[in-house]
Amino acid sequence: MKKTLILISVLCIISACEKNYTGKFTEWGDTVTEDNKKCFKENQIPYKIDNGKIYIPEDAFDMAINTCS
């Protein structure tokens, strides 16, 4: 019984730590670099590339600035 409760607690904590970005996509930069794409993938930040510019969700800006700049 204890093991089951511990497992459920761990799963709840892990799922609570996941980030789900839902904001409107805004421009991150004028040029797309492999370093930017790699950093976004490593930090699970969704991005779009349109006309050579990279866009990320508004609510991911703080995370991107802290980890990818």
**pLDDT value of residue 23:** 80
Phi/psi zone of residue 44: left (φ > 0), alpha (ψ -120 to 50 degrees), beta? left
**pLDDT value of residue 60:** 87
Angstrom distance (rounded) from CA 3 to CA 35? 42
On whether residue 34 sits in a domain, the answer given is: yes
**pLDDT value of residue 18:** 62
Number of domains in the chain: 1
The set of residues, in sequence order, having a beta carbon less than 8 Å from that of 8 and lying 6+ positions away, is: none
Q: Which residue's structure tokens are 């799922």?
A: 15
**pLDDT value of residue 7:** 83
pLDDT tens for 12-56 read 776 666 677 888 999 987 788 888 889 999 988 899 998 888 899
On whether residue 40 sits in a domain, the answer given is: yes
Angstrom distance (rounded) from CA 69 to CA 53? 16
On whether residue 49 sits in a domain, the answer given is: yes
Structure letter (DSSP) for residue 44: T
On whether residue 35 sits in a domain, the answer given is: yes
